[in-house]
Amino acid sequence: MRIAVLVLALGVVYTRAPLAAQSVVDVALAESPPVDKPPLLLAAHLAQEKDGFRVVPYGAFWSDMIYASQRTNPGSFTLYVLSEEDQGEPAFTLDARRSRFGLDLFGPTIPTAEPLKTGGRVEIDFQGRFVVENSAAVLLRHAYWEAYNDSQRILIGQNWDVISPLIPRTLNYAAGYSSGNLGFRRAQFRYDRYFTCSERTKLILQTSLNQDIVADFATDSSVRRESADWPVIEGRAALSFDPGADGRLTTLGVSGHIGETGFDFLEAGPPPLSLPPQDDARFETWSYNLDFATPLGERAHLQAEFFHGKNLSPQLGGIGQGICPCVREPIESIGGWVDVQYVWTPKLRTHVGYGIDDPNDDDMLLGRVSNQVLFVNLTCDVTPQLLTGLETSYWKTHYQETRGGLVPDDQLGPTAPGEAVVVEFMVKYSF
């Protein structure tokens, strides 16, 4: 299993981080590359200007129809497959909660030696907490201000992580999280610097101070989650070059993060160890990561990422497991993903990809110890505003339970794997 993971470290990709400073309009709207950017010509008709500021609304009405041969978590999209011991039946979902709406703000230029353009973005979808499916809550995706030019970018607010900036081109809303893709969105103070090394080569340096997100034990009333007393620190260095002098870039990046998550364990832990209550427990979270992207001939494009770290649930790694509740130790995990895009016509594209997240079995007494996905899809730009796509993916999630004979049978977790074929059809209309 781990040999397959290590092979992914050799992969390649298109990067979300800009070669030179980009305006907010140049940043991708969605996790899934089939939804790359808002159609700006239409959005321009809705733009409003006042006192040197220009506001451009954009959005997408987005619906999915999904069939899974075995139930997945959380259901409207897939992070992993539930064990067949718990949920072995199929499921069908119709969902419109990933529809999203936003505003791009373009402000006045800051008159420095190298003038800085200013702007910002706020964007929401409807994947927030809800009780019933047709009463979804708003989820904040982006809310940030930025100042930028060709050599630097300053950003304050909620935006993508600096680490592992690439996105597998799947139709699944989860975009490879818990199955090889690391990193998400969080509040941050960020600085990017761009250096032109030659006519064909640029160096990108990025760093950020980030809000400490504590993901574990969210529904456990016996555990109180706490932020650490210092921010999560992220950094990335990338080299982007144009080997064929044809404008098609190859990018290689190295990134990492370090931080802490904290908990008050108010009651004794689960058996068999039944660890005593503990105040102000602190656990380090860290990772190192590779990202790579390159064109393959005239029609194909390859991208991939690799990660290794501990306590990665705040970055959506470790299959959503950062700390083992039984032994109260961070869980180490290794993983990555790779996908290839092939352009059949200007309107038709195919994406084929594979991802894996492989936590260390020895770091936990029970839980999810491997999660894999293999996907293939076909997308079609019916019009510049109307996109549709069909994807088939195969998922397999392995579980372990090592407490047999030490706790009552009715307290044991599942050991049978979860295995599902997921078929998803999507329609997205952008403005």
pLDDT along the chain (431 residues), means of 10: 40 34 28 37 57 91 97 95 94 95 96 95 93 86 97 98 97 96 96 94 97 92 94 98 83 98 95 95 97 95 98 97 96 98 97 98 97 98 97 98 94 96 98 95
User: CA-CA distance, 384 to 241, in Å (whole number)?
Assistant: 29
C-alpha closest to that of 145 among 283, 279, 23, 57 = 23
Residue (of 233, 234, 237, 216) closest to 225 by Cα position:
216
- Give pLDDT, residue 47: 64
Which residues contact residue 362 at a Cβ distance below 8 angstroms, ignoring those fewer than 6 apart? none
Q: What is the four-CA torsion angle of 62, 68, 74, 75, rounded to 10 degrees?
A: 50
How high is the pLDDT of residue 109? 95
The pTM of the full predicted model, rounded to 2 decimals, is: 0.87
The region that residue 319 occupies, defined by phi over 0 for left and psi between -120 and 50 for alpha, beta otherwise, is: left
Domains and CATH numbers, the chain: 2-430 (2.40.160.10)
